[in-house]
Chain A
Amino acid sequence: MNPLTELHTQHTRRAFLGRGTLGLGGIALGSLLNAQAGKRNAIGGQAGLPHFAPKAKRVIYLFQSGGPSQMDLFDYKPHLTKRFGEEVPESIYPAERKTTMTSGQASFPCAPSTLKFTRHGQAGTWLSEPLHNLAQVIDDVCVIKSMHTDAINHDPAATLFQTGSVLPGRPSMGAWVSYGLGSGNANLPAFVALTSNGRAKAGQPLYDRLWGAGFLPGRFQGVKFRGQGDPILDLYNPAGVTRDQRRRMLDALDKLNSDQAGRFNDPAIATRIAQYELAFRMQMSVPELIDVQREPQHILDQYGPDATKVGKYAYNCLLARRLAERGVRFIQLYHRGWDAHNNAPKEVPAQCLDTDRSTAALLLDLKQRGMLDDTLVVWGGEFGRTIYCQGKLTKQVYGRDHHPNCFTYWMAGGGVRGGMTYGETDDYSVNVTENPVHVHDLQATILHQLGINHERLTHRYQGRYFRLTDVHGKVVEQILA
């Protein structure tokens, strides 16, 4: 925080503490001094934001790490069954953009999905069998079959989805949102990240940069809620130390630090005092937040048996709803294990077994509480998978390599049209034939639903204004309600 801002902080701190609105998302006083700030009911954030009335107040992004197989889940290609084992023509799949895991293969045989597809909902959306829970709420979902990306390897591809660039150093989407809109809860971070593993395989690694602040001030980075140890790093008092002792120590610190502040007139000291108080409030509020046992049994049942197991996807989904209820702006889940190089017919359903029930439960739960209207839920990974088989093809077993040219995402709630399928792919699910949606378009659309013009949420760094969508991105108007 720059000293000028801290000066403002010092002047206004007392008032804020009185109202209990000091946000973890930082005390961006520029905007609090702004006349509009009061109307937004947010803590921090940039002046002039949101740019227009938002449809969504918050985002829950269910990132499926590893690259889910579009043709085994959403992108139904029934006529391919008869092309089993035929060579995928090079005119359809050119050699240059194959990864070096398969580019040296002697043959690229077509591997149609063995999974059964049926139509669901009033809209008649095609879904494969392992998504039978999602099928129950599919009329709230907009399926985008025409996603495409620039990157072919996990690391750059995931980094592109989360930060708008394949190279590190840029802020993640949640950091941008928290920077732009501020926090909705005085005792919790504006941006939370949660991770879980699939049962089938270890899965692709994740990287701190995916929820990092990049060149934005560090306070905008996602706070990771953890599956082991303290739910937030070092949240709990050391062994043997009671809350009363801690309170006493904080009172002493407040006194001693305030005395220093008076001597040096350094506003940084006042900020530090306030952050200690906020830390204490987090210590008190987080245990209640993560105590999912307080949920009624029917809700726990809805999310499935993993709902109370810390660190599981189902638990994270339920926690996401609890965070959303408490005003957390951007909730980013990551579930690993979608990288089906070896045995897609087995691995894809296994991933669904971990995720399908609780994903559907989350949508239903939000809907029952009337929160789906202003919560945007986004589902998808970093790329799709090849129609050609990686390794040996049999009737029962096929592997699929990375595929950037087309894959499926879906969105629900937050002002997005339910019961619709958008975009089309060719007969092989290799290229987009209709309504392509690039990563930057998806990002522009997510920001748009939050009331942000993606071209105007910028931060000056290295002498230029950066934004999430770089110099690209077009809002996908056709899918908006």
Chain B
Amino acid sequence: MTVPVRIAQLSCGPEYSGVQQEINEAAKAVNGEIFFPDIALKDIIRDFEAFGLDVRSPDLKLAIARAKALAEGRIDADAVFIATCFRCAEAAIVRNELRRYIHNNSKLPVVSYSFTERTTAGTLLTRMEALTTIARRRALLARETQQGITLGVDSGSSTTKAIVMKDNRIVGTGWQPTTEVLKSAQDVIGHALTEAGIRRDEIEAVGTTGYGRFLVGKEIRADLIQEELTVNSKGAVYLADRQHGPATVIDIGGMDNKAITVQDGIPGTFTMGGICAGASGRFLEMTAKRLGVDITELGPLAMKGFANHVPMNSYCIVFGTQSLVNALAAGSSREDVAAAACHSVAEQVFEQQLQEVDIKEPVLMVGGTSLIEGLVHAMGELLQTRIMVPKYSQYIGAVGSALLASGFIRDD
């Protein structure tokens, strides 16, 4: 058993929300250990005043003092978890500023989360896994080239993808909608191997990621089973050839979205989570269906329209669809509706999630939705930047897995 990753918790409210046990369990599941930085009562006010953010809640003052102690190296930790109550404005300000402060003043990976009493260990698991991976596997994440013959499988909520890599090149791909998790995985692996002209027994190492990573990983005896936050970051900077320096990775998925700031290929801060279906790839699928076009045609259609001609701005898929139907009934063009749908999704992600990370250029969009040109354009407009979409961006998790898996190839 390896030594647990020591995760310093800075928080306000988890105990009285009844979720402290869930946080502990999520950390334990990925061999992490939550601890509360030991701080003297008399130092709280001194450190809080030195920080300069004049909040009222004593537990937030305590969190600030603890953050200072961590950043100044007075307390040892491997990672930081910041958690406060959902819907508390004061806590949201502190959460945001502490995340930024720790990121700028230490090398500690940090993740922040706002919980309710309904938060479970399962909800927190991927975030905790990413946090402990960054802390524990910096050497693995430092890998910049793929070696040998490796297979990467991304068992996602909407689609399953596989990639075969050989000597730092992609030689085989497989993609299909996720139905039965294992069958979908076997199908895409078969397709990727056929395309590569490589036999299964020639594969030297295997990596899996995505929602089905544990099931698929066990079935195909993967060497690396890894959450998608670190894997996608790695895959994105590898494909975009931005392995050094800062970058921001945005992945609007079928079920949840990820926004990750990356430094030298290693995730710094990240947010992950569903906002609601109106801000996901699902809404764009529904839009394409309602407009009678294939999802691959939605992007080019949106590029011909004007988003501001149609009022559409909802993170609920039902209300979003209602706006869409109303617009079509009122005579709006399909192009304008397609553009509005792309803008609406981009706007929800921008407003709800990207505010929690500090956007650093270049901004890379990955995942299946990055192929929807209209969505990338809308996000670029909102962020006032040109967004990069690397080749093979829809295979990002599989590429990242294949790349990292080559670290497991034995020399014998």
Do A and B come from the same complex?
no
Q: Which residues of B contact A (CB under 8 A)?
A: none
